[in-house]
Every structure is written in C-alpha cells, then in structure tokens.
Structure 1
Amino acid sequence: MINQCLRERNQRHIIQRIIVRGLLVLDTPTCLGSGDTEGDIDLVILRDSLEDKALLMGSSIAGALRNYLRDYEYGYNADEISVLFGGQRSEKEGEQSPLIINDALSNTTPHVELRDGVKINSISRTAEDRQKYDLELLEAGTQFDFCFELLIENNREQLIKELVIVLQGLENGAISIGMKKQRGFGRCHVKEWQVWQFDLQKYDDRIAWLTFPHWTTGFLTEYRTYKSIADTLSVHLDEKDKRDRLTINATFTLATPLLIRSGQASSDKAPDVVHLKSRRDGELQPVLSGTSLAGVLRHRAERIVNTLHKNTSIIDEIFGVDFSKNKTKKATASRLIVHESIIKETTDLVQNRIAINRFTGGALHGALFNEQPIFGNDKTELNLELELRQPKPHEIGLLLLLIKDLWTGDLPVGGTSSVGRGRLQGKEAIITLASENKIWKITQGSKDEPLTIDNAEDLEKFVDALNEEVAA
C-alpha cells in the first residue's frame, strides 16, 4: 500500500541544480531575537545550541527574500505570482519551494551591543510607566556564510531570473533581516559569491553533485569567487523596480550639542549619561538611532495633525500601530522606514550639572551628575535616510513639514532638549518619488545663506494636499 502511494505521488523531475554560497556582512546592528524573555535582557539574540555563534535561520532569510521579490516585481501588497518560493500564502496545498535555504552561523563568536528604548508620552514628553525595554543586537560587521540550492524542473529562465533579483537585492543592500527593519536595524550586503551549476542530465555533472562537499560551510578556496551574481549567472534584468516609494536623503550638521542616552557605559569611570555609540569599521562612532528619530517625527506629526484638526488615523497609516500599546486597533507595520545615521567629526565633552531645589533655589543635596553629549564643528555631518512606501500626496506633504522643522532646528532630537540640545541644521536634501520619476533638491550652504529649492511649486502641491485632506 505504501509503495503504491509513493508511485502515485507527484515526484520532482529535477534536471538541474544550482548551488550558491555567499558572504553576508551586517552594515548596521541586527536583532535576531530568540523570543526568550527570561533573564536580565528583554530580548536576547538567537544562538546555536552547539556552538557559541549567532544563528540566522533560513526561514528568516526566506521571508525577507520573498517579500522583496513580491514588492520588486508586482509592487507593494500585490498578489504573489512568483514561482521561486512555491505556492502563495493563501493556498492550503501549494507547490513546494524549489529554493532550499540553509541556516547560517556567524563566522566568529558574536559581539553584541545593548540598546534600550522607552515609550514617550506625546503630551507630557516624559517616559511612560512600565514602557522601557532593552534588547541585544549583533554588531555591524558580523559575517555569515550562507548557502542556497535551486532545484530546476521547468521554468528555468523564470526561476533563475527571480533568483538573481533576490540575490542582487542582497548584494546591493536593499534587503534587511531581523527585527525592527523599519527603524534601521538589519541592513546588510553580500560581499562575494560562489556558484556551481550541475546539469543532472549529464553523467559527469550527476557525479559532481553527489561528491560535492555539501556538509562544509563557507567558501571553497579552490574555486573562484565573484562580485556580481547577475554576471555570474549571465542574467540581464530588464524588469523595472515596481516599488512605489518616496525616499528622502538629507544631510545635516549639529547646530547644538546632541545627547541620546546610551543603555550601557563604556567603563566604570564613564559619566552618568553618555551619548549612544555603535561600532562601525572596528571603532565606536556616535549615531542617531532610527528609533529615536522615528519617535520624534511621530510626535511632531501628531502635533501638526492635531493643530489642523485632522483625525490622527493619518499618523497610524504612516507609522503603524502597535497592538500591545493600542488593543482597539489592528496591528500594522510602519510604512515609513527610518535608517540609523552615523554622525561624523564630533567631539565628546563632559558637562557637570546639578538639580536645583525649586523651593529654596539652592542645590539639591546628592543630585550632582555629569553628562557627555557630542559637540559639532564645521566638518560635522550626518545623513538622514527616510523611505515611505506607497506614499499618498497628503502623506508626502506631512513628511515635508517634518523635514522643514528638522531643517530649521524647530524640532530637536534626543534628550535634554529643554536645555538647548538636539538642534540640527539642514545643508542638503534630495527627495525622490519613484512613481513619477521625479527628483527635487534642496540646498543651503550655511544658516545665513538663502535656501534653494528645485521646483518648489511641485512640493507646495503636496502640502496643499495635506490641507485638502484635513478639510475633507
């Protein structure tokens, strides 16, 4: 009976196998959470049970690649028609994916950094009770050796084309992995490739595949490495990226000192409060985190929308809804991606402060503390990257008002803004709208120089659309 079922079952008639190995490098800290909330840290990274190495699950890679392929080929929220990942998610009995993705281990013992966060009340601008959390992140520069294997029965050209699309997305850094991708974590790229193609209709290739060292990880030194996956597989992509998105790349400098509190001190003798730093290229560098900037933007957006007497549903549509914080609404992911920014050419200075007794006007006993914000100079620079998926005209108008407030220093970022910290000064901004293939550029050499805007009338139309949305 069992043999009869096996004979009648649909079998794969594989005619070719393609094995691809790559070296994945993390460009920003990455949260590969284990889901374990027991311990001193709310969320720790996933580690292999046998080796002391970070574990990147094949299912995590597959999910990121599948979403990217769907968005790239058909646009956001489109039905999946690709064949690379098998049946659609809505199908109860879909086809099995022809792409095999193995779990990947980090090449070295993981180096982690701790980040903490807290929810800020938009009215009082203070931390809400019991809303603080901390998590472990893999440091930028961590490397993973991963392996794919593509099984080809038919549709060879479409399968290889879709494979090149997703692998090229990894190669170019267009795909992020892990948690909190909308806040700048998990950005990565593939540094090198190795590819083997086996035609199973040929005897020599069948033997070569059978004797291939599948059990080894990493690159095989006796084989050639490649920089471009498209050139390696001899595929030229003619398809246009169908992702409808607005991207803003803005360059700022520090108009005042900046302090984003770090959840960990570098030493026992460190000041009570130090600015957040993250390791890049082997050294700690000050950063403006995506979580901090996103929180600031959301609170100012709420203020703008409330001033215009508009329902705050606009905010939820852009920044998403967290079900754990608002159980009356359906949880949705943020459509606004806020990347983490490195702040270049800064100086660390320690400032001593003390709390004042408001009744006596004298120093409060035992309340002396010191802080270490970062200070800017003529060479200080940070680049803010924002990406809004499926933008609507009134949403673009709201983002433009937020950039304007950051540009003029009216919207501070980080902590201790009440003592004059956290103000930025805009230098240049490039705004790109993919659906209309339009680019706008805003420049201002210094604070005293005039502002130059390309096609300012077009940008005004988006702000007018916000006013019309409010009136509606």
Structure 2
Amino acid sequence: MSVIHLLEAELELTGPGAVAAPEAHSVGSVLRPDLPLARDGWGDPYVPGTSLAGSLRQQAPKNRRRDMFGDVFKGVGSSEQNDTDETTTIASPVRILGTRLTMPDLPVMRRHRTAVDRHRAAAKATTLHSRELLPPGTELTLWLRIDTETTASPLVDEVIALLSRWRPRIGGGRTTGHGRAELITVRHRVVDLSTPDGLHHWLTVGGPDLVDDRATVVYERAQQAGGAPDEPYLFGRALEFRIADALHIGSGAFAERSGRRTDVAQILRDHEGSPVVPGSTWKGILRTRVEFILRSVGVGNVCASVRDDTSGSCGVCVVCCAFGWTEPSGNAAGDAKPSESVGARGRLLFADSPIRDGRVKVRNHVAIDRVFGGARDEALFAEEVVEDGHLALHIRHDGTVPDLVRAALVLALADMADGLIGVGGGTTRGYGTLTAQPATSEWLTAERPTAVQTLRVTRSARTPVPAPATDEVSA
C-alpha cells in the first residue's frame, strides 16, 4: 500500500476523567490514591491509545466494527478434514499511533468515594477509596494511520464520518460523570509514497510533525453547532433543587492556615472552586432508595447491592440492569457457580452538580459527655457547609431503562424533595435537605401517580391468584 492517511484528532475534557492504573501501586505507595492516574515513563499523566480504540469501536455500527477495527473470534477451520472451531484474528486497518496530553494550569484532582450501608443508611466500613482525575479543560491529541492503495478511500471517509459523530468517553466512571470529552478538530494528511514529495516527507519527518501545514481540516467543532449530540435526559429535562438548610460533602482534606493544617473539614469543590455534588453521590443515594422502594412494594427479587463482604450485586435484577453491577467478592466460594462476567456498566448516567449562589460557612460541633451532660473535652471539630444555593440534577441514559426503575426513581426523587432522604453527611442533624424548585415540583406531582400505578400493576401481575376452594359437599 503506497498511500498513508494520517488523521490528527484533538479532544477536550469537559469534565474530570482519567484512565486509572491500579497496577502502579507498590509496597511504598500506601499514601497514593487507590486508583492513581496512568503515567508514562517520565511520570506524566497519559491516556493509552487502547482506551480510545475501544471507545471508537463501540461508537461504530455493529456490522462495521470487524471491518474497521478488526476482531478476534471463534470460526470454523478452513481445512475440509478438520471441522473443529479455531480462533480467527483480523487485524485492524485503523492504527492508533499514539496520544499526547496538554494539561491546563490546574492540579490533578482527587476524589474520595464510599459505599452506603443498606441497613444503617450510613457509610459502609472499609469501602472508602480515592482516585486521581485529570481536570476539565485537559486537551488530548490522538493520531491515527490508515494505509490504502489510492488517495481517495471509502474507509478513510468512513472513519472521518465516525469521528465527527464521536462522543468520546475516556476512562472509568462514565456513569458518575467522569471522562466526558468533546471533539475539537480533525486534520487529514495524505502521504503518497509513490511521489517524490510524499516519499521525502515520510523519510525526513517523523512523529507529530508528519501532520504539517498541508493537512486538511475535515472537522471543526465550531462548524458543527456543538458537536455530536449528548445522551438524552431520562426525564426529558434537568431537575432543579434548592438547599433548604445546609449541605456538607467532604473532600477528605482539611483547611490550612499559615501553612499549617486546621481541624476544619473542607467541602468538595470542582475545578472552578465551586462547591459540587458529585455524580457518584447522586448515583449512590438514588440507587439505595430505588432498591428500598422496589423491595418494600414486593415487585420482584431486587438485590441490596452492598450487604456484606461476600455478597453484593446480583447482576440480574432490574436495578443492576439500570445502575450497573460488579462481581461480588467471594462469589466463587463454596458451590456457587462462577460468573461469566466481572460486571456491567449501568445505563443511567449521573453528572456532577455545581452549587450556584450558595454561601460557604464554617460550623463548629462538639461531642456531648454522656456522664456530665456537657461538652466533652478535646472533642471540638469544625466543617465547611454550603447554605442556601441551588443545583441541577442531570440524569441521562444510553440504553433502555426498565419501567420499574424509572417509576421507582420518580418516587425516590419525590422522597428527596419531601425531605425523607438527604444528600451528603450529617443528614440526621439538619444537613442535606433539598427542596424542589417550582418547575421540578410540578413535574414530580404530575409524575407520581403514574409511577405508583406502574408499581401497582406490576405487583398485581406477579401476585399469584389463590385457587378457588373446593366444595367437599357437592363433590
């Protein structure tokens, strides 16, 4: 093949994201986050090309994935005497040459997460973990190569069209708002090795400089009215809430004053310094409430995704289908049949919610001495809280969500608007109560009867009808 097509795609992270490298942990790295950033040999963050190759392949039509990006599959052997299955490998004609990150003048972010105990409705012990994230605004450049016989190639045109429709999602945590990116530009450089100019360029220039000023811009974000469409809202809108009292979602760090650490627990903030409710908080709270509602009304077997150290998500109920699931530890113990999968990504997507127009205050607390009834010595602590302020909850989906989950989610949101469940820490001492804004309140009022009816119909359909009593006298 004498013609080399080089494509240079530039992307920008619109939210925090990263490809984690837990294998980077060593004996002396106990102070590092549980999920550190993937880094190159110089210690700089990077995104491996395999992550982007998988995202592109997933975006391609199913009937074209094998021809565009190769495949490994079981096929019947070509020998007429041997009809046993053998592995067939097809190489991808689209090569990813490499990636390069350009970070803004912002530090690497760190997020902490924990699971919710379904019995105590509090943080579950031994589940706290942290991960490093690239800040929004990080730019990622990707280079691709396609070899053809001619300068005009249908495959190249198909890849360019695929890139123009691409919704890049980089790394893990997609269902909690991580890894969201947007395509900025795509440039195309043709290097014809059958011509002296093309051969000279290929032999004397290397690396990113191969895509020079003679490259053609085949996609530009400004010309596409915002780029590829985003995933649709589950309820057709964002839901608006207001903080009724105060809210505290900790960052795991303490404030410093004059270079020294204080005892003031800081709230979580985004890259712009605004207080934020992370997508993982929304997902955990709402999943817990949806599980509780569906189990309470008895509409089927719904797992409690966090119960103890040996059992977790079942992987087959409607909640696992909508919110995702992971392989529980100890699943293969005893006579349990090993699972064919380590889990599945959820269909519901929860984004971070920055808090606007809120006031950040420091509140002091002290423990009570159970004997004397007064303040306990050396038990004073303080934490930042957000008072007032409003925020928007964005719930999107990239697959079919079961009607049962949708109905239970409406009721869970209504419970949150009624103050039955709170957000963040200290919900039993006046923190975390949200009230719905007028438009959202009217929508919840209108949707609640339909949601209740959906659960009633489902329960009636699953409740066995008792057999009529036999008349022994007439028999």
TM over 0.5: yes
Quote the Cα distance in structure 2 between the aligned partners of 1:196 and 1:169. 20
Structure 1: tracts of 5 or more residues without a match: 1-13, 429-442
The equivalent of 1:149 in structure 2 is 145
The equivalent of 1:94 in structure 2 is 89
Correspondent of 1:29 among 16, 32, 35: 16
Correspondent of 1:106 among 101, 105, 114: 101
Task: From the superposition, tell whether residues 129 and 220 of structure 1 become closer, same or farther in structure 2 (CA, over 3 Å).
Answer: same
Name the stretch that deviates more: 222-231 or 260-269.
Answer: 222-231
Matched residue SS, 1:210:
helix
The equivalent of 2:56 in structure 1 is 65
Task: From the superposition, tell whether residues 388 and 61 of structure 1 become closer, same or farther in structure 2 (CA, over 3 Å).
Answer: closer
Correspondent of 1:339 among 351, 364, 368: 351
Shift of 1:354: 0.6
The equivalent of 2:320 in structure 1 is 316
Quote the Cα distance in structure 1 between the aligned partners of 2:391 and 2:221. 34
Determine whether 1:295 maps to 2:307. Answer: no
Shift of 1:351: 0.6
Structure 1 counterpart of 2:279, one-letter code: G
Describe how 1:22-421 pairs up with structure 2 within 5 A: 22-35=9-22, 36-38=24-26, 39=29, 40-41=31-32, 42-49=34-41, 51-69=42-60, 73=61, 81-87=65-71, 92-108=87-103, 111-152=107-148, 156-157=153-154, 160-165=157-162, 167-170=163-166, 174-198=167-191, 203=195, 206-207=198-199, 210-211=202-203, 213-216=205-208, 220=212, 228=220, 246=234, 249-267=238-256, 268-279=260-271, 283-309=272-298, 310-312=300-302, 313-325=317-329, 327=331, 331-377=343-389, 380-387=390-397, 389-421=399-431
Describe how 1:432-471 pairs up with structure 2 within 5 A: 443-444=439-440, 451=442, 456=446, 461=450, 463-471=452-460
Quote the Cα distance in structure 2 between the aligned partners of 1:229 and 1:98. 26
Quote the Cα distance in structure 2 between the aligned partners of 1:345 and 1:219. 46
Deviation string, structure 1 residues 74-122 (Cα, Å, up to 9, x no partner): 5xxxx76552212365663232111111332322598312222222211
Shift of 1:353: 0.7
Task: From the superposition, tell whether residues 163 and 191 of structure 1 become closer, same or farther in structure 2 (CA, over 3 Å).
Answer: closer
Verify the 8 A CA contact 2:274 2:355 in the aligned structure 1: yes
The equivalent of 1:437 in structure 2 is none
**What percentage of residue pairs aligned between the two structures are identical?**
21
Q: Aligned-residue CA RMSD in angstroms? A: 3.5
Matched residue SS, 1:207:
helix
Task: From the superposition, tell whether residues 24 and 213 of structure 1 become closer, same or farther in structure 2 (CA, over 3 Å).
Answer: farther
Quote the Cα distance in structure 2 between the aligned partners of 1:185 and 1:464. 35
The two structures have a TM-score, normalised by structure 1, of 0.76
Task: From the superposition, tell whether residues 358 and 266 of structure 1 become closer, same or farther in structure 2 (CA, over 3 Å).
Answer: closer
Quote the Cα distance in structure 2 between the aligned partners of 1:340 and 1:164. 30
Structure 2 counterpart of 1:292, one-letter code: T
Verify the 8 A CA contact 2:190 2:215 in the aligned structure 1: no
Matched residue SS, 1:317:
helix
Structure 2: tracts of 5 or more residues without a match: 76-86, 303-316, 463-475
Verify the 8 A CA contact 2:72 2:89 in the aligned structure 1: yes
Shift of 1:299: 1.0
Deviation string, structure 1 residues 157-199 (Cα, Å, up to 9, x no partner): 355234422x2244xxx32111212211111112233222345
Matched residue SS, 2:275:
strand
The equivalent of 1:431 in structure 2 is none
Verify the 8 A CA contact 2:362 2:385 in the aligned structure 1: yes
The equivalent of 2:307 in structure 1 is none
Verify the 8 A CA contact 2:414 2:444 in the aligned structure 1: no
Rg larger for = 2
Shift of 1:32: 1.6
Verify the 8 A CA contact 1:164 1:230 in the aligned structure 2: no
Quote the Cα distance in structure 2 between the aligned partners of 1:223 and 1:386. 37
Verify the 8 A CA contact 1:98 1:152 in the aligned structure 2: no
Structure 2 counterpart of 1:106, one-letter code: L
Task: From the superposition, tell whether residues 397 and 17 of structure 1 become closer, same or farther in structure 2 (CA, over 3 Å).
Answer: farther
Verify the 8 A CA contact 2:290 2:405 in the aligned structure 1: no
Quote the Cα distance in structure 1 between the aligned partners of 2:420 and 2:19. 36
Verify the 8 A CA contact 2:277 2:353 in the aligned structure 1: yes
Matched residue SS, 1:465:
helix
Task: From the superposition, tell whether residues 208 and 81 of structure 1 become closer, same or farther in structure 2 (CA, over 3 Å).
Answer: same
Deviation string, structure 1 residues 286-311 (Cα, Å, up to 9, x no partner): 11111111110111112101211231
The two structures have a TM-score, normalised by structure 2, of 0.76
Shift of 1:277: 0.9
Task: From the superposition, tell whether residues 31 and 132 of structure 1 become closer, same or farther in structure 2 (CA, over 3 Å).
Answer: same
Quote the Cα distance in structure 1 between the aligned partners of 2:329 and 2:240. 33
Quote the Cα distance in structure 1 between the aligned partners of 2:165 and 2:424. 33
